Amino acid sequence: MKEKLTIKDKTFVPYIRNAELEKAIDAVAKRIEDDYRDRKDIPIMLCVLNGSVMFCAELMKRIEIPLEFSSIRLSSYEGTISTGVTRKVLGLTTAIKNRDVIVVEDIVDTGKTIVDLHNLLIEAGAREVKICTMLLKPDVYKRDLKLDYVGMEIENKFIVGFGLDYDQLGRNYKDIYILDE
């Protein structure tokens, strides 16, 4: 783990080591597998691009039941600030009518994006929508929507690494770094 990262005009310091992330992913994968093992219908794992790509890939490698994979791309951030508006950048790539969908998200903070996505999937006819997130900021998540699988809870700080970015940079680091204030 690097001692510091500089991305554009911001400096980040170590926050969560990859080994901790791996343990959390193992636990989430086991819960998903336990929940879906005896079902006859194959669920769709819906990767929310771009941030959850690393989490989703690691999660899928650990789940040994049949899964279908699909993706969607949404955006609500500019720099380090949420715009408060969820934009659909790339729509659903799979038909989900009467299907069980497991949404895989990198991080949930205020929950605006995940609630908007949940509603979009229900309107598209999904039979069941479960929410899986690697990281949750419980101090700012005040929504009624249940999060079914949470890897880790973290403080309400800006982070990069393991798929999370600052202006599209920093996603490639295997560890997570926090903004050095």
Write out pLDDT tens, residues 166-175.
Answer: 999 999 999 9
* pTM score, whole prediction: 0.90
For the residues 30-44, what does the mean pLDDT come to?
96
For the residues 135-158, what does the mean pLDDT come to?
97
Which are the catalytic amino acids? 109
CATH level 3 topology of 18-153:
Rossmann fold (3.40.50)
DSSP-assigned states of every residue in 88-106: EEE--SS--TT-EEEEEEE
Provide the residue ranges of all domains of the chain, joining segments of one domain with +.
Answer: 18-153
- What average pLDDT does the structure give for the chain? 91
For the stretch 51-76, pLDDT in tens is 999 999 999 999 999 999 999 887 65
| pLDDT > 70 fraction of the chain, expressed in percent and rounded | 91
DSSP state of 119: H
CB within 8 A of 144, min separation 6: which ones? none
157 C-beta neighbours (distance < 10 Å), count: 11
CA atoms within 13 A on the CB side of 73: 5
